[in-house]
Chains A and B, each alone.
Chain A
Amino acid sequence: MAVGSVRWRPVALGAAGVLGLVVLWEGYKALGPAEGVTVAGQAVLPRTTDLGMPHVWDMIGRALEPATSIEGAAPVWLAVVQAALVTLGTATAGLLLGTVVGILLALLMQRFVVAEWAVQPWLILSQTVPLIALAPLVVSWGGRLQLGPVQWETWMSVGVIASYLAFFPMAVGALRGLKSPEAAHTDLFRTYATSWWTTLLRLRLPAAVPYLLPALRLATAAAILGAVVAEVSTGHKGGIGRLIIEYAQSGSADPAKAWAPIAGAVLLGLFAAGLVYLLGLALGRYRRQEETA
């Protein structure tokens, strides 16, 4: 088998998946009941009207038109791409912070068993706090911070909220990874009387890579989700979360437009996942076999 054909298969499959989604959407729209399907008063399938489910080509057509009728207004797709980049930036800042915090926590828990007992319940508790309750608090606390000459800004609050979601998979994945070396290996290091630090660098961290990469993928998705939700919550300007709300406000009069930022958010997630995948290629030497976090 030629190498090229192997490379193209996932691309072709991905394209087929997107095409399948379009066919499913349009197929249901064409054949499904206009009033949707309700079971015991609960809507289980949406209405197929143009208001509820605009045609895919209408959405694409709308995305190519200017966002507003104001002179010089950018087309919808460009506004969406710009907003997605802003969100990507904020989410990346959150992901970096979350990764650092998560790995530090994992190191602490690996080093001291007492710390693991003490911290792990809090880790799980932390993820049960609803984001919408947290967001205004973070903004409020942040507004009181003055870090030397740096004034706290709303995007930092959004980044912190993103990191709050991102650190959890990193902490859990990193801890499992750090603990993954077999007893024979750790015993060998012990017989050499190597320090904890050397064991970490030479044995535990390399062994953790197959756990860290999937954790990073989860954390990336979480950071983007967190950033989008935090943007909605705080009304932070410029990002895709706010754009989703802004376009949804005119949803009943311009239904095709509201789907553009939603598609943008999905593409943003895919793009970020792609970046993490590329990062993983570089660490291929350590991957041997990837474990699920």
Chain B
Amino acid sequence: MIGISRRGLLKSGAAAGVLAATGLPVFAQAKRGGRLRVALSGANTSDSWDGRTHSDIFMQAAAQGAVFDSLTEVAADGSLVGELATDWEASPDAKVWTFNLRQGVTFHNGKSFGADDVIESLQLHVAEGSKSAAQPLVGAITEMKKVTEHQVQFTLENGNADFPYLMSDYHLLIYPAGQIEEAIATGIGTGLYSVESFEPGVRFVGKRVDSHYKDGNFGWFDELEFIAVNDATARMNALMTGQVDTINRIDFKTEALLKANPMLRIQELTGNQHFTFPMLTDVAPFDNVNVRKALKYGVNRQEMVDKILQGHGRIGNDTPIGPANQYFAGDMEQLSYDPDKAKFHLKEAGLDSLDIDLSASSAAFAGAIDAAQLYQASAKTCGININVVQEPADGYWSNVWLKKPFSAAYWSGRATEDWMFSNAFEAGVPWNDSQWGAEDSERFQSLLIEARAELDSAKRREMYTEMQMILRDEGGVIIPMFANWVQALNNKVATPEVVGNLWQMDNARMAERWWMA
């Protein structure tokens, strides 16, 4: 078992992975029993048990967080542990990966789990015409081989040291082979909870299975009830009136009321979710690195965190790597608001002043237009005149993002550095939202390829740190802030001391990890 290291979370700041504002420390021992009632946003009438379509917290928590399992799992402290796989091993070039599968696991319908289930479930994502969000992850596998009933071997197109991390993606659920259609229709997995009832976009009720391989470690509730409540005010009401025990994404406007209630507590974690202003680096004037630098110094990051996130976040350093990432360079020098430096770089670019348009819409992120106006105000002092263009929210991602030279956007972040970079910064990929070309970013691109196949963790840290520095100094994306995951729960529910920060609600696994106090 190599290639897995405890994530350097403690190094990356106290805010990460540690409960920031819970008030009460929880020392009590976990115990079985009770019904966890959760109001979650992100539910749709088109929801189903098909992992390929999952895109929001409701189905993520119901599927990967309760009914289904994946091969691997990101633990609350950020380390990678086996879920349906017990351990794994890579060839020296990180191209061939062998996974040993857990024995004695059964699906909810009694079928026993084995290598065929893994192979058939993964193949769903690369089937002809598949629109799975995980298509690129599975598409990188050139061969899937069943070695024994409980061992599978994957051969990759190119070496990838993060491969076991990718297998923890919430789209990659394991279904029973030969019964996948039925499993998707009714929700048959190997998870801690079986489906009692599921109404898409309305409600999910789960029941604890009698015996499970996670017994004694996880899965304390007897029953689960997830209620789809997309409206933030209604979620707050449901928590305040005791109809649910916990909610995701609290409404900051009524946060004070929530804090005043001694029965409730707020959980706040900084993960990888970040708000950005990408500029197209192949369009003038953004092709000039000095213009980009001037813009980096012209934004008041702290002010944005204070006013747009109302303090629920941390300032960004123009890299998409956040505290929930393994090689987050938290000690790297922070970019700050500096009109003098901005003016200096403007002069370096041969300009006295700069007039640019910034396209924004509430579709980019909540408060994006306000953020653009703050940027406008802070940049004015630096001789940069930003004209804020309000774009319609409908069709924003198709018509504005990636098309207008300077716009607003958001990313929920990725579990690994390579995944994030190869999605949004690798030359030529479709979502490279700064259109960062190969010549402009030669060093970055070669490090990206090199780090991908490197199994030595220390070397990777070095490379990823250098890449984050390059992004901070030359990158075409301004990342002024990371938004916290802010959720709330009442004192009937207890959580472990360390709660996951990769996704909201303890990495969407609150049903597995929390218990009734």
- Pairing of A with B: no
> Which residues of A pack against B, CB within 8 Å?
none
